[in-house]
Structure formats: structure tokens, C-alpha cells
Amino acid sequence: MENFKEISLNDANQLINENNSVFKDDLISELKGFYEVAGKIVLYSGETNLENLTVGNDIVLVNGDLNVANIIEDCHQVDSSMFIVLGNVNCKSLITLSSMYITGDLNVANVILGDSLCDYVLNVGGNIVTKTILDYGHCIIAEKKITVTDVFSFNSIEDENGAIEENMESDELVDEITELDDDEKMKDLSKTIDYIKSGGEIFKVA
């Protein structure tokens, strides 16, 4: 049996207040707005271990550390979604198209892909460690340090030391995640998501 249950907005606010992260006030404000649309909050309590995690219409709140063997993906079949972890997150790949708050560290073995037309933020209260970041139009912020090998960035990636500069151009992205446009390589969101879900791990042309 899965270890989740539906909770009220007041219960969620109480957990956020108890966690007392740097995001507390922003979290409570944004949660209220999403709750008015979604009307449902699903809570995972304690250390949570899952194969995959897909966030859709329901707000997902994890009160504790989260370990996902494969992929965390939000915004499933909805225009926007909200995902909150009051703890650390470990996963293979993370696909975010909407609002995410992680109060601890985020460790992603393969890739972080973000695209929300620059509307939403991946907020991390600790460190981010990953191999590749593909920012197609998103905001990725770590309150501490970001450690990453390859970065493709259209919008904004920042840690405690300021902006993280990209070191990949569009023509360096592998063919599997790009489409040709006027003889130039351009990134493609749906192709990139399919590539990640099929186990793709190489994003930069050797």
C-alpha cells in the first residue's frame, strides 16, 4: 500500500511552518493559489522511496526525504502543477515544467530539464548536484551550490555565487533532442522528454 493520503490546506501549511525553510512564506502563498485551482493535496510522510513520480493536477507534498529510482516529472496532463519536498531529493532524471520547491539538497544522476516559458521556478534550499542541466525557458535556483558538468541555458540558473553560465550551444546538442530549423540545430521539448524517458543520458555531441 502506498504511503500517501489527502490532507487539508491547513495541515500542509502547518508542515511547511514546522520545516521553517527559507522558502516558507513564498511556499505558503503559492500553495494557496494552486490549492484554489487543484483543491487537493496529497501527502507522502517520512522517507519515501518510489520507482517513478508523476505530478499532475493534485498538489504533491513530501514531508521527508524522497528517493526516486528513475524519473520525477511534473505538469502531467495539466497546464501547471505544484510539487513540494520538505527534505532532500535523489533521482535519476527530473523533468519540470511548473513549480517545484525542495527545501534540502537535490541530487540528480542524469539530467534536469526545465521549461515553463519562463513562468515557474525550481527552488532548491540546499545544493544541486547533477550531470546535465537543460534549461529551455525555466528558472532554476539553489540557495547553496550548483555542481554540474554540462549546461544549456535559455533563461536563468543561479546559486549562492550568482548565475551559472552555459557551456553548451544549441549546435552541440545531440540529434536525438533537436530538430533542424533553417539548417541550424534547435532544441525540441517533446523529443527531449521522450529521449530522457527512453533512458537517454548523452546530451552533448562528443
Grid cell digits, residue 181: 530549423
197, pLDDT greater than 60: yes
pTM of the full predicted structure? Answer: 0.96
Question: Residue 1: pLDDT above 50?
Answer: no
Q: Decide which of 193 and 2 is more confident.
A: 193
pLDDT tens, position by position, 140-150: 999 999 999 99
Cα–Cα distance measured from residue 59 to residue 98, given in angstroms and rounded to the nearest whole number: 12
Instruction: Say whether pLDDT at 182 is over 90.
Output: no
Which of the two residues, 185 and 35, has the higher pLDDT score? Answer: 35
Does residue 39 surpass a pLDDT of 90? no
| pLDDT tens track for 77-100 | 999 999 999 999 999 999 999 999
